Amino acid sequence: MGIPHRLDRPVSGCVILAKTSKALERLSAMFRDGQVHKTYRALCCARPAQDEALLEDWMTRNEKQNKAYIVKGSVATKDGQQAGKAPKDAKLARLRYHYLYSTERYHLVEVELLTGRHHQIRCQLSHIGCPIKGDLKYGAPRSNPDGGICLHAWRISLLHPVRKEPLEVTAPVPASWKGIKD
């Protein structure tokens, strides 16, 4: 089995595995070239100010802290270039989110990942004031009892690497997300 992508340790949901080395090579290229569409569900501690938005930020990574940061004072231009001052190692992070609904205490957001940066969803949602439930590293007020965070790889859509047929894989949100429906 080959692994063409990964999830952060505290994240639940879909993972694609390759049965052969040829499929692994093709899947890795599809992930790298943006041909795989990943949709996440995030249970946030605050409701986003906008019901939907495209977030484009320049991010850096601190490997010692195992944490990502939004570069302040730098914005992405329409052609994806960096404007303003930012470190050379900053990378463009893009995602689109859509607010779904709220429970008494939390807010369900669907996230379409457009780039795959380290801790991208966690960092960008926290940056707009919506930390993910249980994610102490990015601003949640308390941890979850199981040590995970309420970020779930809900759906992956792609063309099958050999048969070239559309393939969609989904995983229901964990039972520990009480009161949350897909």
Per the CB < 8 A criterion, the answer to whether 51 and 130 are in contact is no
Q: In the annotation, is 57 catalytic?
A: no
Q: Give the distance, in angstroms, between the CA of residue 44 and the centroid of all CA atoms in the same chain.
A: 13
Per-residue exposure over 123-158, b if at least 16 CB sit within 10 Å of its own CB, e if not = bbbbbbebbbbbbebbbbeeebeeebbbbbbbbbeb
Return the DSSP state at 88: T
Residue type for position 95: L
Per the CB < 8 A criterion, the answer to whether 68 and 118 are in contact is yes
8, 33, 51, 135: which is the annotated catalytic residue?
A: 8
Provide the annotated active-site residues: 8
